[in-house]
Structure 1
Amino acid sequence: MSAPSRILFVVQDLRRTLVERSTFMEKIGRPFINLQKVRRVPQMFAEAMPCMPDTLSDTEVPHFFRERYVHSGYRPLHRNWRYYFWSLLQCHNETINVWTHLLGALVVLIKTAHLTETVDFINDPHSWALLILLLSSVAYMTFSTLAHLLAAKSEVCHYAFFFLDYVGVALYQYGSAVAHYYYAIEESWYEHVQGLFMPVASLLCCLSCFCCCYGTYWNYSLPSWVRKVSQVVPSAIAYCWDSSPVFHRISLWLLSWTWSDSRSTSALIFHFGQVVFFLTSVFFFTHPLPQCWFPGHCDFLGQGHQIFHVLLVLCTLCQINASYLDYLNRRHIYIHFHADREALLFLFLYVLTLVTCALIAIYMLANVKKLLRDKTK
């Protein structure tokens, strides 16, 4: 081999070696580059977040926004919407209330997606009552999340978002009623309330929504306990009516001592669980515990309303499981009670209840705006 050829061969071999080493180093360095990008994510996230102001004490916000025994953690008013959305990641006295129902809504959505694998929600009219319960559960948790997240922006927003929350509660009451009436009812109770149960349930939903909105509307001039009464009494009446098929069925189950049907027993255990969780949640909704024992020490974590949220989510999950088991195992019973067209009627009544409650909320919000205008004059 001549000298020029030898030199050319050496140069080509050297170039090949450099390319191979470059490729090798690139493969080695790629994970480190990706790791650097991952490490920069928190920094990029922090740069995208707006400057979050410090939370305020109860003496620094209007009296209307103060909660009893909660002394700190209040967000400032009249900031841009971006601030209140980003406050989802900030520590304040509504953080836990927001996350409990946000996570609850996500769990119900996942549960719904799982149920679509075994339930034909489109072609089986007998499944529509279960679908209404699922939609209502997601709605009330989502509306509650928005209320606790965004209501601190202004007084008008406070009213508007909590009126929306009350619409969600009314929808959940209807969803509970239709699921209990469709799947859980026994023949002896069905004979007494046939043709009457769902119209009365819809009426009570609308009444509950109106009373909750009206009690909040008069919050300026009435003691706080009056607002609680205006919220609890109509909701309690609606709950007793909506859950009467469950109460009746549980009482028959306890008195008969016939627990041999394991499928029916599993559903009844979930029904019993939802009753226990709901009644316990009502206690924490109506009593400021434990923050009244430790004023100022439960501002972020430990408020009774936070416990109420958790218990209500557990109640809802038990209710969904019970209704699903009844849908599967009691079909031979409820198909004799409800024709296909009746399911369509209940769906129509659900939409009518939604529209009526929305109109109630809009009407009360218009009165609130007028009240605030008169107040500033």
Structure 2
Amino acid sequence: MSSSTPLLAVDELSVVFGGHGSDEVRAVDGVSFTLEEGRVTGLVGESGCGKSVTSLALMGLLPDRGVRVGGSAVMQVPGGTADLLKLSQRRMRDLRGSQMAMIFQDPLSSLNPVVPIGRQVTEILRRHRGMRGSAAAKEAAELLDRVGIPDPERRLREYPHQLSGGMRQRALIAMAVACRPRVMIADEPTTALDVTIQAQILELLKNLVTEEGTALLMITHDLGVVAGLCDDINVLYAGRAVEKAPRAPLFAQPTHPYTVGLLGSIPRLDAPRGEPLTPIRGSINDNIAWTRGCAFAPRCDHYTMECLQGPPDLVAVGAAAGVEGGGGSTGAAAEHVHRCVNPVRGADTADRSAPESPAAVGEDEEAQG
């Protein structure tokens, strides 16, 4: 990982919905990572692990009431630095679009259905670059052309429903890059697109990062996307990072059982014909509180009683000691860290033998309580 000053340093981010005590839902629980110039950082995990809530917290798009946000997210801005989690909505509106931007998951619901594409793109140019009239229209057409939309002048006059899914996603990307933001967040930008369009969108994002030096946060559950795009990867489960590593070490030697399970759940071109996939048993709701032990224990093939002895820390892979606390400054120091007391090792990554039933973990937890 690079040692340069990150464009965005997220440290111990937490997002809690609802009241206090048993009524609260801790969607994000101490997530830390950095975004660096010209690099792509991935947030990976099943639906419900806290990926999108993390992005909404960073963009200041969570509701004002019923939500508690903690930690820090320090970003390099003109004139110095700013903690995104402590800025007023007025200041965040100045940053959104100009210094940071987000590509949302569903372009059809993200775009205004009753406003032409051209007006939606030029709105950003008027707000942040002061462009008006023909100058704004010309710049909007150049943006659509840059992201690969054919006949951009005509498309500017059309409405979102008149564009294909791939074109709508490209229009969203054009809006996101209109002011050349330094930080960009892409939340499942290839969902519901066919594989050909998906490859084109990913190549477009990769080129934007390379050409503009943008720091990109890629949120996805698709490990194929991660393998082709991300430089650094954070695997999330139940609101916490369970494994963090650069791309090559993570795919070559995953150590957390959850990461191994994600990799085992996707088809491989080099696998023998007819070999079944090995999905992770249970669902994201089958977990225990991190305060009681590893949240993944009820679904884990490798759990032991030690997994239920309190929350595991992030530690360097292969280290017998030396806790890697997971903060923003320390998180970048280790090449490969995981949150597991019984990690998968070597040839065991392919061993997915039948474990005890998930109910056994609940019984063990009660015995420990």
Q: TM-score scaled to structure 2, two decimals? A: 0.24
User: Which structure: larger Rg?
Assistant: 1
Bigger strand share: 2
Could you say which structure has the higher helix fraction?
A: 1
TM-score (norm: length of structure 1) = 0.24
